[in-house]
Structure 1
Amino acid sequence: MPHIKSYIRISPDAKKAAYYVLTSGNVSKAAWGTFNKGNGALRIMSYEAGVMFLPSFVLNKDFFSLDKSDNDHLSVPYDLPPVPYEEDMSPWVMDYLR
């Protein structure tokens, strides 16, 4: 199973999405590259792969629906909007490190 990241832009009411990105790349200089000082060459420290889903290309619409009752909704592998952790919860990685 690849180590993936996903980025989504949702509307304030969490009913629509403007885009969805599924990628192996982080949002970092190492993943996206940085310009070398002096010569302007782009230095990329790692190569990543990803796909950007745009509703205009997929559905010929301005937004993806996030309503699961719509036949052409965008299905994502997590709940939207995100639910904050409660005070008595701890991230799963803490259990792994103990």
Structure 2
Amino acid sequence: MDKKLSIPCLLIALTLSLFFIRSVYVMSDYHVQQCHWKGSTSKVMGDGFSFDNDVRLKDGVIFIKNKPAAKIMVRKYRPYADNIIIISDIEYSELEMYYEKGYY
């Protein structure tokens, strides 16, 4: 392969792989727990929430005071905008969309 062509191809491949690796990390349970999430008012999760001692995430299920309260149905990575999660309340079976609003 021509050396002039191989360097740009390598750079393109590295850039695409970095986007993929970042999307896997951003939508992991670890990253989701580090973020503050804002959305419209929900009966269980409210208009915003963060994970702390009372609110925990395990295998995509949100526990409030050690009781399952909601489940993350969809995790959407958006590289140039706020990331999104869609949560289904276990008790009420309603869907709510939350946007990532910073992390700590």
TM-score range, shorter-chain basis?
Answer: under 0.3
**TM-score of the superposed pair, with normalisation by structure 1:** 0.25
**TM-score of the superposed pair, with normalisation by structure 2:** 0.24
Q: Which has the higher helix share?
A: 2
Q: Which has the higher strand share?
A: 2
